[in-house]
Amino acid sequence: MTITLRRILMMTAIAVGLAGCASEPGTDIAPDGEVSGPVVGPRWNLLLVGTSERLDLSPTPHFRITPDGRVSGHDGCNQFGGSVELGDKNRIEFGDLASTMMACPNMADARRVTDMLDEAYRYLIDHDRLVFFGPDQRVLGGFQRVD
């Protein structure tokens, strides 16, 4: 019985040690303030709001994050820009989002796109899909990488 208990304790210690050594894939913040990771660089086109709602907006809402921590895009009605901070465990925070604020027929839906970015707390990338989650773990929406 003590051999089994000793083996369990040893395996647990090894697992804890390995977990502490594992690096979190995703983002790095360089000393010069630049950000990097799979979300940085490509253009991301809107797929869904929430888990299933598609918006019919033209042009297709999209955004791009640059290594200097800036975000720019289009919400389907107006161009927007702002800043973004990336952190451990796929943490993301958009800030200072400002748009051109021109009226269009689908302003309410376009606002839902920028609201999604404002509320984003974490993200998950699966192949060419990007999903944003709110602080309550709720799915806010999804995007698809186009380049």
- The CATH number for 56's domain is 2.40.128.270
What pLDDT sits at residue 113? 95
Residue 32, domain member (yes or no): yes
Q: What does the block give as tokens for 54?
A: 């598609």
What pLDDT sits at residue 32? 54
Residue 65 lies in domain = 26-145
| H-only helix segments in the chain | 2-21, 107-119
What pLDDT sits at residue 93? 97
Residue 4, domain member (yes or no): no
Domain count, the chain: 1
Residue 3, domain member (yes or no): no
pLDDT per residue, tens digit, the chain (147 aa), is 444 434 433 333 333 333 333 333 444 444 456 888 999 999 999 999 999 999 989 899 999 999 999 999 999 999 999 999 999 999 999 999 998 878 888 899 999 999 999 999 999 999 999 999 999 999 999 999 998
- DSSP for 30-56 reads -TTS-EESTTSSSEEEEEEETTTB---
- Residue partners of 127: CB distance under 8 A and separation at least 6: none
Residue 89, domain member (yes or no): yes
Residue 15, domain member (yes or no): no
Residue 8, domain member (yes or no): no
